[in-house]
Homo-oligomer: A and B are copies of this chain.
Amino acid sequence: MSSWPVSSDTARRALAGARGAGRSGPDVLDTWARVAWNLLTEPGDGPAGALIAECGAAQALEIAVRGLPAPAHLSADVDRGRERWMPRWRPEGIAEACAAAARAGVHLIVPGDPSWPAPVDDLGSHRPVVLWVRGSDELLRPAGGAVALVGARAATGYGEHVAGELAADLAGSGTTVVSGAAYGIDGAAHRAALSVGGTTLAFLAGGADRPYPAGHSQLIDRIATSGAVISEAPCGAAPTKWRFLQRNRLIAAISDATVVVEAGWRSGSLNTAGHAASLGRPLGAVPGPITSTASAGCHRLMRDYDARCITSADDVRELLGWEDGTLLPAVNGNRTDRTTRVMDALSVRAERDLTQIARSCGLAPAEVEAELGILALSGGVERGRSGWRRVASWKR
């Protein structure tokens, strides 16, 4: 790896505020180059994504900036790409973006980080080059599954009620509720998840330091405190129309299923649904009165996109394939937290018995036992002769 255009030390210093001290992870120059790409491109830039996937972020950057030849099958796309990328090229922007993030309490995660959400990799060359997170980035790999609850800003009382009921039930039983922090359905879903002490993630179109809409600043702050507020755009970025549409693809990609609660005929949430469908993620829609224009988009999804008709949280679990809750028993409190605590109490090498683990993580033995059972099913832990151990290769 050449140290073009900066040395590892310079790169490390540039990233420091946003990456935290002593944070392990991929190569520092790769991370630095990813931030560079993040500043050069708009979200979902396919040619950039393809070039990075092929050559790695650092070499891809060198190809783009220094005009080195790109792999033949990408070269035409890269030539066109340079025209939009190069006007934005300012190497000093990387340190500035990370410093801005550090000031706002936003940190940076990149592919290869333990908390990088693997499902977004399904976006292929359209996957984000980095993610900026305000809150706990560990929550981006939810052990209890994640469901997107999205819908119209111009929601009715009915829609907000239903969004709240679904979110409270799902979040209360350990499923992460993902949404976009907008007025209407999104807000109702986040609020209900918070109200039951569940986990909720908000994806923003602009920078993670820019609560949008402004009227949801407090809500977004609360989400950042117990959950996470995520953006693909660097701090300070405005929530443009394009970034909204691309934000929607992240909501769909990170979630195991997407449910549209209420949506007009041309609601933006249908775009999220479209992403979910094209990613092969299960799609649901909540019906409503056919006399309500706020449900017209949901009915359209059922008719034209085979969205499942969702009438309860159980229907959502069925959509996820957890029909009887076998894999996901209702638990009190935050499933993700419990998983983390149990995993923290385990060793990859030494086997530990239930009493030791319970004492170590401060949970009741029965809770630990339930959690170990679930983790065993998903391959996270193994039972040995004298107790349990953690499986090194398992990633949440």
Residues of A whose CB lies within 8 Å of any CB of B are 158, 161-162, 286-291, 295-296, 299, 302-303, 308-312, 315
Contact = CB atoms under 8 A, between A and B. Distances in A.
A340 to B, nearest CB: 34
17 contacts: A158-B289, A161-B291, A162-B290, A162-B291, A286-B290, A287-B288, A287-B299, A287-B309, A288-B288, A289-B289, A296-B311, A299-B309, A299-B311, A302-B302, A303-B309, A303-B311, A303-B315
Contacts of A310: 290
B289 A288 contact: yes
B308 A303 contact: yes
A245 to B, nearest CB: 26
Contacts of A302: 287, 302, 309
Contacts of A309: 287, 299, 302-303, 309
Copies per complex? 2
A308 B302 CA distance: 8
Q: Which 4 A-B pairs have the closest CB atoms?
A: A287-B287, A302-B309, A290-B311, A303-B309
A51 B42 CA distance: 74
A303 B308 CA distance: 6
A289 B165 CA distance: 13
B287 A290 contact: yes
Given A286-B290, A287-B289, 13 more contacts: A287-B288, A287-B290, A287-B295, A287-B302, A288-B288, A288-B290, A289-B289, A290-B311, A296-B311, A299-B311, A302-B309, A303-B308, A303-B309
A190 to B, nearest CB: 20
Contacts of A315: 303
A133 to B, nearest CB: 34
Contacts of A296: 311
Nearest to A308: B303
Nearest to A311: B290
B303 A290 contact: no
A341 to B, nearest CB: 36
Contacts of A158: 289, 291
Nearest to A162: B290
A288 B309 CA distance: 11
A295 B311 CA distance: 10
Contacts of A162: 290-291
A311 to B, nearest CB: 4
A166 to B, nearest CB: 9
A311 B294 CA distance: 13
